[in-house]
Amino acid sequence: MWRADVITFCITISRKTNYKKVGNHYGKKGLCKRFDGKLISVEKVNDPMFAQKMMGDGVAFISESGEVVSPCDGTVSTVFKTNHAIGLISDDGVQVLIHIGLDTVKENRKRFKSHVKDGAKIKRGQKLITFDIKYLESRGYDMAIPMIILNMDTVSDMEYAAEGIVTTESGALSYKLR
């Protein structure tokens, strides 16, 4: 069934790698980039699983704050036991994975703290996970934070936001629900 609802995920994604500014549009909802830092193309992430969009499409961020907050209203589907990643389901049914750093799973919860549990109802802007970014960088981890839409069959017409410095309310991704 086709739905004409348009969602803005404060991440802007496009299969064409067509970066542009994404603003607030009447009737749009979505995911926002929810931490201060830099927005980069998911294709620039140094992990083929993300860069080649094997799990889905999205964008990535480089955090300056060591904090990840919810990009949408929805539900926590899973907090990985190592607290380095979290799965969300937006109120519109879009499945989102936020993965903090590359290979940071090796730290096994060390320097990561989850502020939510599986099944928790969440609001946009709610703190999800904090992490010690200085420690992780000192250990040599690539701190790119991919934010990926997993159920790509439910969205269309995705566009990316422009790469560069962003704030917690910057638009990052827009799309339509099918």
99 is catalytic: yes
How far is it, in rounded angstroms, from Cα 49 to Cα 160?
A: 19
CA dist 48 and 26 (Å) reads: 36
Place of tokens 């969300």: 88
Using DSSP bridges, classify how beta strands 37-41 and 121-122 pair: parallel, antiparallel or unpaired.
unpaired
- Between CA 156 and CA 176 the distance in angstroms is 5
CA gap 50, 60 in Å, rounded: 9
State both tokens at 42.
């998911």
Pairing of strands 172-177, 95-99: unpaired
| Catalytic residue selected from 25, 84, 99, 115 | 99
Active site residues: 99
